[in-house]
Structures are given as C-alpha cells and as structure tokens.
Amino acid sequence: MSIKALHVRLGLGAILFSALLFFIAIPNWVSSPSNVRNIVLAPTFWPNILAGLMAVTGLGLILTSRQAHAIGETEDEPDGAWLRLLGVAVIMALTMYALSRLGMVWTSMLAFAATAFLFRTRYPVTALVCAVVVPLLLYAFFAHVAGVAVPQGNFVRLP
C-alpha cells in the first residue's frame, strides 16, 4: 500500500470515528448534569475536545496525502511491530488492573514510563521526568484547584 493511500484511509477513518463519537457515543453514553457552572469541568467537554482533535488530525492526514509520493512506494513493517503492539496491549491491561490498587497518579507514572521505554525513546531521562512530573501536576490541579477527587490507591495517599 502506498503512503498516499495509507494517509487517506487513516484520515477518513479518523474523521468517521470522530463523527461517531460526536453524534452517537458522547451524547448517548456520557452523562452530564445540566447545572455545571464551569464548562471545562463538564464530563462531555474533554471527550468532545478529543473527538474534534481527531477530526482535525484526519483532515490533516487527507490534506498531506496530496504531497506524498504517488510512485507506489510501500513501507515494510518495521522489525518487532507486532511485538510492540502486544506490549502496548499488555501495558493497557496492567494499567486497568493497577488503577484500583495503586491509584491514578502512580499508575499513570508507571504506564507512561513503560510505554516510553517500550518504544525506545531517544530521550530516556526526559521521559522519566515527564512520567513523574506530569501526573503530579495534573493531580495538583484537579485535586487542589478544580476540587475534583482523583482516585487514590491502597498503599500511598497523596495530600
């Protein structure tokens, strides 16, 4: 499959999936009370933002496919692609298992670091720093600024 065809297919898939989210999934399965004062704290706000970003990404893929070479180049599968896919599936399953035991912050740290090292990042120190700092900053914002309860684990509780 050529790069151009791949970009078009992925772009159309992203746009169709985001439309499914916008018009069917989010309105039917994400409940939101009508008296939410701050729109950013509404349960439907961030899913709609992510669906919109997915649509923009799909549109970007379709537009950039025009610049891809139409020579019919095919891209071979990189070595270990299926093993990395299996590794990501294992990380996701372990994340779901660990969420109720370790809490959201600690599990996010471990999942971020494991994913970064699974894909052999060129910046391992930066990945570790981000794996620790980003979940802590998000916890501080949601727990102390927004007043949203972040799920804590059974072992270590954050203030």
Of 40, 67, 94, the domain-final residue: 67
Given a cut of 70, whether residue 76 has pLDDT beyond it is no
Number of domains in the chain: 2
Please tell me the predicted confidence (pLDDT) of residue 3: 80
Same domain assignment for residues 52 and 99 = no
Please tell me the predicted confidence (pLDDT) of residue 73: 54
Left (φ > 0), alpha (ψ -120 to 50) or beta: where does 42 sit? beta
Given a cut of 70, whether residue 104 has pLDDT beyond it is yes
Same domain assignment for residues 60 and 106 = no
Torsion sign (Cα): 118, 124, 128, 130: negative
CA distance 156 to 111: 17
Of 29-38, 74-83, 119-128, the one with minimum mean pLDDT is 74-83
Question: Is position 151 within any domain?
Answer: no
Please tell me the predicted confidence (pLDDT) of residue 26: 93
pTM for the model: 0.61
Please tell me the predicted confidence (pLDDT) of residue 81: 80
Report pLDDT digits (tens) over 107-139: 999 999 999 999 999 999 999 999 999 999 999
Question: Is position 72 within any domain?
Answer: no
The DSSP call for residue 68 is S
Where in the sequence is the domain holding 88, given as residue range(s)? 81-145
Same domain assignment for residues 86 and 141 = yes
Same domain assignment for residues 16 and 60 = yes
Question: Is position 152 within any domain?
Answer: no
Question: Is position 154 within any domain?
Answer: no
Q: Within 13 A of 146's CA, how many CA atoms are on the CB side?
A: 17
Helix, strand, or coil (residue 103): strand
